[in-house]
Amino acid sequence: MEPLIFKRKVHTIVKIIVGVIFTTLGTYNILSNFGEMHIYNWIINILLIILGISNFTPYSGSTNASLVPGGHDLKIRWRNWALWKLIRPDEVEKIVLGRLFILIKRNGKKPVRLEVDSFEKDQKTQIYNFFIEYAKQENLDLERHGPGEKQNH
């Protein structure tokens, strides 16, 4: 199976715009009021600059969603996750495909919920097809939320 990587373009654009606004405001306030600023004004403007710059770093929230199948596990990094989650097929009880989410129920562990409501229709279809194929390949139970559909693979 091929890895799936989706980039959220709208989210990236918003992050860039917010970063530019915060950095510009902080810099402008420091330069325009340089001699007559109090300590709390300095702190607020420096924090604005730091927040603006942090929007350009990859650790301020992932704009990518990745599904990478490996030999013995599935690596998932969803939007706004800082770290990858490794899921082994032998710990998966079942995979539930909902209209707005995908739920991976694990034995003895917290389930992993992947929200898919903000993806475009073609991206959702690719994600659903990925999990259907993954469930077939690993012999996992697959449940489709909807009009009473249930499939076991």
What dihedral angle (degrees, nearest 10) is formed by the CA atoms of 93, 95, 96, 98?
160
Which tens digit of pLDDT belongs to each residue from 64-89? 788 999 878 999 988 777 788 999 99
pLDDT at residue 56 tops 80: no
Residue-averaged pLDDT of the chain: 84
CA contacts within 13 A on the Cβ side of 101 = 9
What does 57-82 look like in DSSP terms, one character per residue?
A: SGGG---EEEEEE-SS-EEEE-TT-S
Which structure tokens are listed for 97? Answer: 């495909």
| Average confidence (pLDDT) over 136-152 | 73
pLDDT at residue 150 tops 60: no
pLDDT at residue 151 tops 60: no
What dihedral angle (degrees, nearest 10) is formed by the CA atoms of 88, 91, 96, 97?
0
- Please name the residue that has the structure tokens 């995908």: 102
Residue 111 carries which DSSP code?
P
